[in-house]
Chains A and B, each alone.
Chain A
């Protein structure tokens, strides 16, 4: 396999697990996901009174025989899922202390999940956002789509400042049909603006999943000696004595995580804080498992 972010063994292991939408989707074709509309599936939905214009073939004659009234028997509609991978490709995504860089980790997640989605007949698309560039691959169900996604993932190099908030607003505006928006980012942007963007997506009734990707060193900040820190996005630098600022840094980081979680909770987003030293296969497994329907339903 020519893409280093794909592991065939992991794909094989995860292949048996479906990706379920948490909300009803409005797909273009029949699929395995709930739709807000009535359709022709075998799942009974409800009875409703016949109104003029209804197809008489859908009349429930047995109900007419019992009640001498005309009822239409409606069934659930199953549709396919449209998944958008929103990949933050700002320079900060290149950060790596000892493990894979954030972007590399995001490539693995996006590639694997997109493979699983298209493999189960759903549509997958990719949106790569940077400060000035917003590359978008619209979601389709075709198998060839995987190549497109993998190519873009492989060629994307993190650079510049983040354009995540603008990208989310754009996606919210452009995507009329309900979709699963999977965001992969360090979320190093204005938290209030991010919350706005997430609200926008939620307003459009999209299902939001967020992989908040951080490095373990960013959380623990366990430097010993003085360091010169250079901002990966705007190249500003700061010479600091870690022992002096560690506590305040950790405090600020904690506050940031609380704010982000709060913003995600407000929009019922499926939030996952992950560090790049974790096993991505397990992360995907957990992500998929949580989304599986509870017992008794379908």
Chain B
């Protein structure tokens, strides 16, 4: 705990502490000389008084000195609290960076208010104790500096209200540094109120180097004071929608439940609301997270629709709901670019199997690739020599904008390269032996296990022909000789998957539905998310903002909205003609907190102080002059008692 003073110059008065000592010394020097007869008793008394009596007199002197010191300290108006260092009260401007991300709505254990409110109140109380420094607020949602006339207004502003956004702490500090550099603010301090969520702090962000340099380059030394609201998240469950895919008259929702306590199984009632129709279901799960798929019937509802999934309110009410919206059902249109042969049949069947009437597969040769409707394509299956020229550029752009492509090897040799990947030599297995798949990624990629945990029987695949894959990629499945069978190349928002063999009996048994069907259908779903993602956005992102002339209105029935804060809130919105479901970013559900060592490494060379805030709001600093005046009285009374005592004994003589 450190102490600072509002009237620091008055501390010179502490020199007055020496007054009693000086008076004592002067008195000793200004003694009177007397001739004394009873010297024997005087010497004896002096010898006996040397111990405790001298100590008593020293205590009296100390009490006098401490009383003066307490008075001077009280007049200097001391502030205590670890938040301000020595002399920290002499501040002209405070730039308050307020993290109002979704995770700041967490109610701390033993607390009764959110971390955001607690931080605001602490800052208000602390600013009241200072000499009314100029206050500038940079909130994490808008990231724009704005002058606040009075600390009292902080809790009333929409700029400090709860949001469903994330916070980029490095960007906010950078903005604060720019603001200090561009304006003459006098002695300035940056106060940062945050829950230290690691995803918000992004320790790997390259901006931290610039922040360190920027703070060092400021004309005046600027202290960064961090009000850490990083208490552990407890008793909290979050729900989020991983995907919302319209299939015929049903909406398939991939849902994930995440909870802070994973010690025992839990029962959570989940409410589903779609187009105003509500239903509920109780989910029982173990562990920290649970994913499941929920198909909601759309009924006779045509066109667009929306809804939400919700769980009961808990420690953080902001992560108890997830919104979704969907548009018109669009057929999953797959373009199969093929060299012909048996594989055409199997690939066409896998792309548009009987029963899935909305799936459509159009067969084209490589020469007809210019007929592809890139805007309407859900999946491109390319079983031919890798494209080149304008087609390659179009395919590349298609993938970058969120499209999905499944690349299969050509039968003939080709040296074409696409996305930095090239087909290698054709390999044939020895007579009587097969290439088999030994290892594949069961958690990610097209061969991942199903949501219920069911695995894809990729080990049943036997190949007698295959091609090598040359280039830089991520291997998702490998042959037993560790050569790649299935690789992934992510470009922009889209994905290209390369498979090393063909669904042709002269190549492999890939045509068996065990592997090919799930791979192709998952790729179609991946490509389809390009369309469904048009209806989803992260709260506070540019996509969630209304363009000039667009009118925003909330259409979901979950709760009312603060109109001035709407762009930063989760919900289903009608923005102009668009229907958009906005949710908090997934990173807000990651409750990993930046630890002190990481923070010190991150802020190395920066003059920063970390103040750990407790559950309930309290001033980060407080005045203690009353306590000092009481202390002064205690010292004076003690001194008086010690001085009076000898006179009462005198009567005995």
Contact = CB atoms under 8 A, between A and B. Distances in A.
Interface of A: 91-95, 102, 186, 188, 214-215, 218-222, 225-233, 236, 238-241, 243-254, 256
Interface stretch (B46-54, B314-322, B553-561): B46-54
B646 A186 contact: no
B36 A232 contact: yes
A225 B31 contact: yes
B12 interface: no
B646 A253 contact: no
B27 interface: yes
A246 B650 contact: yes
A249 B37 contact: no
B86 interface: no
Nearest to A91: B37
Most B C-beta atoms less than 10 A away, residue of A91, A92, A248, A256: A248
Given A92-B37, A230-B33, A230-B36, A225 B46 contact: no
Nearest to A186: B37
Given A232-B37, A238-B39, A238-B43, A247 B32 contact: no
Contacts of B40: 188, 252
Given A95-B37, A250-B653, A229 B57 contact: no
B601 interface: no
Top 9 A-B pairs, shortest CB-CB distance: A248-B45, A92-B37, A249-B45, A252-B41, A95-B37, A231-B39, A229-B36, A245-B45, A226-B31
Main secondary structure, interface of B, reads helix
A244 B27 contact: no
A227 B54 CA distance: 16
Contact of B41 (A93, A233, A253): A253
Given A232-B36, A240-B42, A226 B27 contact: yes
Contacts of B301: none
Contacts of B31: 225-228, 239
Contact of A244 (B32, B44, B54): B54
A245 B34 contact: no
B1 interface: no
Contact of A250 (B32, B33, B650): B650
Contacts of A249: 41-42, 44-45
30 contacts: A93-B37, A95-B36, A188-B37, A188-B38, A226-B32, A227-B31, A227-B34, A228-B31, A229-B36, A229-B39, A230-B36, A231-B37, A231-B39, A236-B39, A238-B42, A238-B43, A239-B31, A240-B42, A240-B46, A243-B643, A244-B53, A247-B646, A247-B649, A248-B48, A249-B45, A250-B649, A250-B650, A252-B41, A253-B38, A254-B653
A230 B46 contact: no
Contact of A232 (B35, B44, B53): B35
Contact of A245 (B27, B33, B42, B643): B42
Given A231-B37, A241-B57, A251-B45, 8 more contacts: A102-B37, A220-B650, A220-B653, A226-B28, A230-B33, A245-B42, A246-B650, A247-B53
Given A225-B32, A241-B57, A248 B49 contact: yes
B66 to A, nearest CB: 20
A84 B483 CA distance: 138
Contacts of A94: 35
Contacts of B38: 92, 186, 188, 214, 218, 253
B653 A219 contact: yes
A228 B41 contact: no
Contacts of A218: 37-38
Contacts of B37: 91-93, 95, 102, 186, 188, 215, 218, 231-233
A252 B45 CA distance: 7
Nearest to A93: B37
Contact of A230 (B34, B45, B643): B34
A215 B35 CA distance: 13
A238 B46 contact: yes
Nearest to A229: B36
Contacts of B646: 243, 246-247
A227 B33 contact: yes
Contacts of A254: 653
A249 B652 CA distance: 13
A30 B49 CA distance: 59
Nearest to A254: B653
A228 B35 contact: no
A159 B34 CA distance: 17
Contact of A252 (B28, B44, B643): B44
B61 to A, nearest CB: 11
Interface in B638-653: 643, 646, 649-650, 652-653
Contacts of A188: 37-38, 40
B39 A248 contact: no
Nearest to B33: A228
Nearest to A214: B38
Nearest to B57: A244
B643 to A, nearest CB: 8
A229 B35 CA distance: 6
Contact of B35 (A186, A230, A238, A248): A230
Contacts of A227: 31-34
A239 to B, nearest CB: 6
Interface string B430-466: 0000000000000000000000000000000000000
Contacts of A253: 38, 41, 653
A244 B49 contact: yes
Contacts of B650: 220, 222, 246-247, 250
A244 B33 CA distance: 17
A19 B255 CA distance: 127
Given A240-B46, A245-B46, A251-B45, A95 B653 contact: no
B33 to A, nearest CB: 4
A160 B27 CA distance: 32
Contacts of B53: 244-245, 247-248
A290 B649 CA distance: 34
Contacts of B649: 247, 250
A232 B36 CA distance: 6
Nearest to B645: A247
Contacts of A232: 35-37, 39
Most A C-beta atoms less than 10 A away, residue of B27, B37, B646, B650: B37
